[in-house]
Amino acid sequence: EQYVRSHKIRHLQQCAATMLWGCSSGALRDMGDFERIGTPNNYMLAGCPTLVANLWDVTDRDIDKFALSVFDKLALQPEEVKKWKTGKKCAADCRTSVVAAVAQSRDVCKLKYLTGAAVVVYGIPFYL
């Protein structure tokens, strides 16, 4: 929200699966009698299939460990991405959804019931 205006996100031509690891990046603001609004709504309106975000403030060390664990499970480390570029993708049976990677990574946090529980996935299960 600090760097990109919400109307710019809403009006994107295409939107890829997105991971927002910042504090409260997935929080929705209460609008009284009206529906809640926030960054997740803007990404969903832009056609984002999956959005990973945090519902509340988290510690930076814990969320960094969490993100690295998710990247490991999705094979998004630099050496794995190089294999993708050369056409050496993994077999269909080793693919993991973003939802499963997030769920499996909750235990790496020191505060797994605070930081680990803050991360949510909006949208549909998405496979890389």
Instruction: Give the residue numbers annotated as catalytic, written as ranges.
Output: 23
How far does CA 93 lie from the centroid of its chain? Answer: 22
- Token pair of 106 as six digits: 């909750």
